[in-house]
Amino acid sequence: MNKEAVYRELCSEVRSADDVSFKLLALALLVTGAGIALAVHGAALRLAPLYPTPLFGSLIILGLFRWELRNIQICIAAIRSVRMLEDTVPHV
């Protein structure tokens, strides 16, 4: 595998990790909005309080946070590899 192919693959890895991060952010916002709407709607209908719901939501957000930290690690490693690769390629 030549250096150009490795470079393209590393850049693709960074783009992929960023894409996943943006999708997870959108999912977190969607779920939060749905939770707020459910809480407001439930309060209007005088439904019984859903005590486990905040705990479940917190666990989901914690999981998304850990996933995002892993994506950041992947991006940092890929960017370092790209920089090392760029340092070894002679400039024209």
What tens digit of pLDDT does each residue of 56-92 get?
778 888 888 898 898 889 888 888 888 888 777 665 4
Print burial letters for 40-69: b (CB count within 10 Å at least 16), e (below 16).
eeeeeeeeeeeeeeeeeeeeeeeebeeebe
* Predicted confidence band of residue 47 (pLDDT cuts 50, 70, 90): low
- Alpha-carbon Rg for the chain, nearest whole angstrom, is 21
pTM of the model: 0.65
Please state the length of the chain: 92
